[in-house]
Structure formats: C-alpha cells, structure tokens
Amino acid sequence: MITSAKTRSSTSGPRPTGNPRGDGRKPASPRTTRKRGGLTGYAFVTPLLVVFTLFYLWPAVQSLISSFFTWGLLRPWNVFDRSTWHFAGISNYQRTLSDPDFWHAGANSLLWLILFPALVTGISLVGAVAIWHTRRWSVLYRTVFVLPMTISLAAAGVIWSFVYNPDAHIGVLNAVLNALHLQGELNWGPLHLKTGQWLADAGALDLGFGQIHLVNVFVIVAAAWAFAGYGVITFSAGLSSLPQELVDSARVDGCGTLQMVRHVIVPHLRQPMRIVFVVSVIFALRTFDIVYVMTSGGPGTDSTVLGLLPWQQAFAYLTSPQAGQAAAVAVLMSAALIALGFPYLKSMLPRKESR
C-alpha cells in the first residue's frame, strides 16, 4: 500500500516544463511572439503604405509645394528640375483670396453644402422608409432609387441635360410644362423663375444681400437624384436592425405612419443619417463632373463651384501661368475638407471610459 501510494504521488506530481512536442526546442517567449506578430503586421501593411505614399501622399505634398511657385501647363513645375522653380511665395494664396471669382465659386459651393445634403438625406429617408414599409413594391422602389447610383455622375449630367433641354420636343420638363400651360416667367415675391431656359437664364432668388442663381438649384437636383441611392442603401441597412418588438409596441400605442417615422425610425437612424450627411457634405464641396457636363460653370460664372475653379485656371487655357494659383485653391479646398471631416472622424474613434 505504501509503495503504491508513493508511486501514485510521483506520477501525479507537476509535469515537466520542457517542450511538449518532445523535439528538444524551447517554447517561444511572449516577447518573441509579440515581435513576430508585429513583423507579420508590418508585412501586411507595407504594400498598402507604399501605394498610399506613391499615389496619395506624394501627389498631395507635391501639390502643396507647387502652390508656392508660378507655373503653367506649357511650363510645368518639376520638383527635381530647378530651372522650373519660379518662387512666388504666398502670392498665389493672396491672389486667390482677393479674387472675386473665388468667393463667387465659394458662395455657390456653400449653396451646395446646404441644399445637396438636405436633398440627399430627405430623398433617401423617404425611399428607405417606402422600401421598408411597402413590402409589395419594395423591389420597384429599390430599383428606382438605387439604379441611378450605378451610372457615373457625368452620365447623370447628360441625362438631366436632356430633361432640361429648352426644346419641348426633346426636353421632358418643358414638354410637361407646355401641356400644363405653365410656360413663361413666374414672380413669387423674391423668387424670379424663367421656365424653359433651365441651365441658362433660369432666374434667381433675391435674398436682399445677394442672389441665388437658380441654375445651381437645378444642377443640385440632378446630382441629388444620382446620389440618393447611397443614402437609400445606408438607411435600409439601418432599418434592417430595427427591433420588430419596438415597431409592434408603437403600433399598439396607436402610432400612425408619420408618428412612427418621427418617434421610432428617425431616432433609430441617427447614426446612418450622420454618415449620409457627412459624405454628402464632402461630395458637395468637391463636386466637379456633373457641373462641368451640364453647365461648364455657366452662364458666365453663375454655376462655377470650387471644384471647377482649379480646372478653369490651370487647364482651360494652355498659356495661362495660373496653375500655381489653381494648386492654392486645391490646398484651401483640402483644408476645408479636413476641417469638415475631422469632427466626424473624431466621433467615430472609440472613447476611453472614465474610471
């Protein structure tokens, strides 16, 4: 009995701390494991960093540096060729900030920043709620709102150019107004609308301290039509996580459709609405293609926006030496985008819990 007890105690004691595989190698220390994991992470991230540096970071730095020089397309600026260096200092920024065209384009971009996110958010919310509420016609609604998102904004501009065409045999909008006998000038207080020439002499809204050229509004409507699909997809994804118990409780309490939207759906979609609004603001500030296709900034400079202004200064005239000033406009736009996007990016970061 004594011998068997000793045998059991010796066999049930602590196991040896050697390599469990029995191949003679010692197990890796936690420090070595962390080091190998860090090297593996760097190996995966390095290709992305190389692509980001070559195609994003370096062009951005080059644009920033070139904004302090005078150059044009026929005499391009090259960071590696000192003969192309015609240092201008901050004069490009001074000319930009004192240029009336810059502030006029800034006012048009401000209109985009206000009206475009509001239209995209409103149209997308209505479309997403219609898809969620009407199960029978959900496929049709989803197709109507999402299909324009599959084409480029330049193609959307071409389509809406036909809609706004002044010829009633081609322009859909003018054909409808002719059928309703609504052609002519409409003066409703500060609003002066000239039907027919939607992308030319469309009238203006008099604010007392300035005017809003309505041609900008018609271009914004076309852009919102093409961009609303993004918001519909985002809101539909948010509505898919809406608890059915909450909806049933609201219906039992007697909530109608509008009350359901106001008190249940909109509070639930607060985070998706923030995403759609911020993305729309960023797009509105950098918009270029649809404005160029539909109006090219005209008539005159009535629809010129900040995204179109650098192209007009740098590329419209080959002999123009204002490419440095165009780079200054691009730098100022980038600074505005960072300032507008920073609060959103900061809100997306995980917050430290206070002890």
Give 171's contacts (C-beta < 8 A, 6+ positions apart): 162, 163, 164, 165
Nearest to 120 by CA among 274, 235, 219, 228: 228
pLDDT tier for residue 167 given thresholds of 50, 70 and 90: confident
Residue that wins the pLDDT comparison between 351 and 20: 351
Helix (H, G, I), strand (E, B) or coil at 306: coil
pLDDT tier for residue 3 given thresholds of 50, 70 and 90: very low
Helix (H, G, I), strand (E, B) or coil at 347: helix
Helix (H, G, I), strand (E, B) or coil at 130: helix
What pLDDT sits at residue 29?
Answer: 62
Answer whether residue 102 shows pLDDT above 90. yes
Helix (H, G, I), strand (E, B) or coil at 204: strand
Q: What are the strands of the beta sheet with 185-188, ordered from one edge?
A: 185-188, 191-194, 203-206, 211-213
Answer whether residue 349 shows pLDDT above 50. yes
Across residues 64-83, what is the average pLDDT? 85
Across residues 126-153, what is the average pLDDT? 82
Nearest to 174 by CA among 185, 186, 163: 163
pLDDT in tens, 323-340: 888 999 999 988 888 887
pLDDT tier for residue 354 given thresholds of 50, 70 and 90: very low
What pLDDT sits at residue 218?
Answer: 94
Give 24's contacts (C-beta < 8 A, 6+ positions apart): none
Answer whether residue 13 shows pLDDT above 70. no
pLDDT tier for residue 6 given thresholds of 50, 70 and 90: very low
Residue that wins the pLDDT comparison between 9 and 126: 126
- Using a CB cutoff of 8 Å and minimum separation of 24, what contacts does 74-82 make? 74/318, 74/319, 75/321, 76/323, 77/323, 77/324
Across residues 319-324, what is the average pLDDT? 80
- Supply the DSSP string of 51-71, one letter for each residue: HHIIIIIHHHHHHHHHTTB-B
Across residues 208-213, what is the average pLDDT? 86
Across residues 213-222, what is the average pLDDT? 94
What pLDDT sits at residue 331?
Answer: 92
Answer whether residue 5 shows pLDDT above 50. no
**Partners of 247 in beta bridges:** none
Across residues 249-261, what is the average pLDDT? 84
Mean pLDDT, the chain, whole residue set: 83
Answer whether residue 352 shows pLDDT above 70. no
pLDDT in tens, 225-236: 999 999 999 998
Helix (H, G, I), strand (E, B) or coil at 272: helix
Between 10-14, 157-161, 253-257, 298-302, the lowest mean confidence (pLDDT) is in: 10-14
Across residues 259-287, what is the average pLDDT? 88
Backbone angles phi, psi at 256, to 5 degrees: -80, -175
**Cα(217)–Cα(194) distance, integer angstroms:** 13
Answer whether residue 355 shows pLDDT above 50. no
Share of the chain above pLDDT 70, in %: 85
Q: Which amino acid is at 64?
A: L
pLDDT tier for residue 141 given thresholds of 50, 70 and 90: confident
- Using a CB cutoff of 8 Å and minimum separation of 24, what contacts does 52-57 make? none
**Cα(226)–Cα(116) distance, integer angstroms:** 11
Joined together, the tokens standing for residue 249 give: 């409780």
Residue that wins the pLDDT comparison between 316 and 29: 316
